[in-house]
Amino acid sequence: MPQIIVTWHTRRDDKVCPICQALEGQTFILEGQEPQLIYNGVVVWTISQGSDAHGNHSNSCRCTLDFDFNFDDLLEPVKRLHDRFCSGEKLEEPTQI
């Protein structure tokens, strides 16, 4: 799985709480099956639930996240696959990348 690079953005108004304010403009690199964003030891965002900055998935967070993907770690497996394919090797099983 490629790395996910997340940047946190608040609405930048006076209703933004201190937790979200502290996250404003912060960039995080997420990896793994269930990417989650941890700030000061607290899970503030998960890929399935969205922002949990206020706890218990209260949906009161108005912040948005920008997602960027780092495919650098996919280059090597794709190159290996390409080289195997071009060398005429028969690919019987789908190759995990």
22 binds Zn ion (CB under 5 A): no
4 binds Zn ion (CB under 5 A): no
Residue 79 host element (H or E) = helix 72-86
Among positions 17, 47, 65, 81, the unique one binding Zn ion when judged by CB under 5 A:
17
3-state secondary structure of 37: strand
Instruction: Output 17 or 74, the one with its CB closest to Zn ion.
Output: 17
Q: Which of residues 44-73 bind Zn ion (CB under 5 A)?
A: 53, 61, 63
Tell the smallest beta-carbon distance from residue 28 to Zn ion (Å): 14
Which strands sit side by side in the sheet containing 42-46, from one edge to the other? 36-39, 42-46, 50-51
Tell the smallest beta-carbon distance from residue 14 to Zn ion (Å): 12
- Residues 7 and 64: beta-carbon distance below 8 Å: no
Distance CA 73, CA 79 (A): 11
Tell the smallest beta-carbon distance from residue 25 to Zn ion (Å): 13
Tell the smallest beta-carbon distance from residue 23 to Zn ion (Å): 7
Residue 66 host element (H or E) = strand 64-70
